[in-house]
Amino acid sequence: MIDPDKAIVCGACDLPVTCPTDPKPDDQVVCVRCGARDTYKDVWEACKKHIVHRLKSARERRASTARSGQGTADDNAQEPMFKWEIRD
Ligand SMILES: [Zn+2]
């Protein structure tokens, strides 16, 4: 399901989480630092939202750059929190 070249990180700690090598939907994914845990299925749902958000914000950044011809203050906008994120 998740590309093995990408790592799941805890959104709060920004640290890679421990994940079984061949995860099943009900396997637990755990952040070793803050102890956050979810099933792999739920983590993957959160990661998909994160991916969609990243694609969307990249597109919006390009659009606003095209409009103004330069970067905007929106670059400093607060990123929404994701419980789980995916890293390239
Ligand atoms: Zn954490």
Query: Identity (one letter) of the amino acid at 23?
Result: P
When the pLDDT of each residue in the chain is averaged and rounded to a whole number, the result is 85
Concatenated DSSP letters of 17-51: PB--SS--TT-EEE-TTT--EEEHHHHHHHHHHHH
- pTM exceeding 0.95: no
Q: Is the pLDDT of residue 85 over 70?
A: yes
pLDDT higher than 90, residue 46: yes
CA 86 to ligand 1 center in whole angstroms: 13
Q: pLDDT at residue 74 above 70?
A: no
Residues 2-28: tens digit of each pLDDT: 555 678 999 999 999 987 788 899 999
Ligand 1 centre distance from Cα of residue 51 (Å): 19
User: What pLDDT is recorded for position 72?
Assistant: 54
64 Cα–ligand 1 center, Å: 33
| Gap between the Cα atoms of 73 and 71, Å rounded | 7
